[in-house]
Homo-oligomer: A and B are copies of this chain.
Amino acid sequence: MATRKSEHLRGAIREALEQEILTGERQPGERLDEQALASRFGVSRTPVREALHQLVATSLVELRPNRGAFVRQVSLRELVEMFEVMAELEAMAGRLAARRAEPAPLARLEAALKACESAAQSGDADAYYAENSLFHEAIYDACGNAFLASEAKRLHQRLKAYRRLQLRVPKRIGQSLAEHRLIVSAIAAGEEKAAERELRKHITIQGERFADFVSSVQRRDAAE
């Protein structure tokens, strides 16, 4: 999409900070100095403050009163909990999509699956990662519940950075793709229970793989 020329400053700043936090460029617990950010972006403190407040709303940033803004520390436990909720929302979306099974969203879903297959064949993990996101969004959009779709996208977005890590696991892409195929055929066939079950499994596996990965890396972390 084209970059809107009249986009407000706080929007641009929010996106920039969001990116930095999600990519891990900004370490959890790091303090975000308003003045420093202002001079870095070449603006005053006002839009920076507004951007930080928006990030607080998305739980990426924590705001201690009269202390400043800090990159929020997300514990392993909380991440596992988030994946658990994500699995439930995805399963619900899949069930509803199977129940409705309207032609147009279904066609988009199958197109997204094909795109995943292409990306998988090319062996490009980043490409598969991108197509994977679009595939899941296609499921949300097919569920016929716009509110559920927006909530699912919100949570998906929050888990984005973490989800990316576990695609590095060998053979995970092929396995993920096989699961995608099962999901699509269940939805297309209108099999609610199968769609729900397969999607729940799909996300739960991601969560477990991720938890294993993180706990093996961050073993040094103190138990909070």
Contacts and interface: CB of A to CB of B under 8 A. Distances in A.
A82 B145 CA distance: 9
Interface string A123-167: 000000000000000000000011110010000000000000000
Nearest to A87: B92
Interface string A181-203: 00000000000000000000000
Contacts of A8: 65
Contacts of A65: 6, 8
Interface string A58-84: 100000010000000000001001101
A177 interface: no
Contacts of A78: 146-147
Interface stretch (A24-32, A49-57, A208-216): A49-57
A146 B57 contact: no
A28 B8 CA distance: 26
A85 interface: yes
A57 B56 CA distance: 9
Given A57-B57, A88-B88, A92-B88, A82 B50 contact: no
- For A8, A50, A84, A147, which residue has the most chain B Cβ atoms within 10 angstroms? A147
A210 to B, nearest CB: 15
A194 to B, nearest CB: 18
A147 B57 contact: no
A206 to B, nearest CB: 16
Interface in A77-103: 78, 81-82, 84-85, 88-89, 92
Contacts of A6: 65
Contacts of A92: 85, 88
Contacts of A147: 78, 81-82, 84-85
Interface of A: 6, 8, 49-50, 53-54, 57-58, 65, 78, 81-82, 84-85, 88-89, 92, 145-148, 151
Query: Top 4 A-B pairs ranked by shortest CB distance?
Result: A57-B57, A81-B147, A81-B145, A88-B92
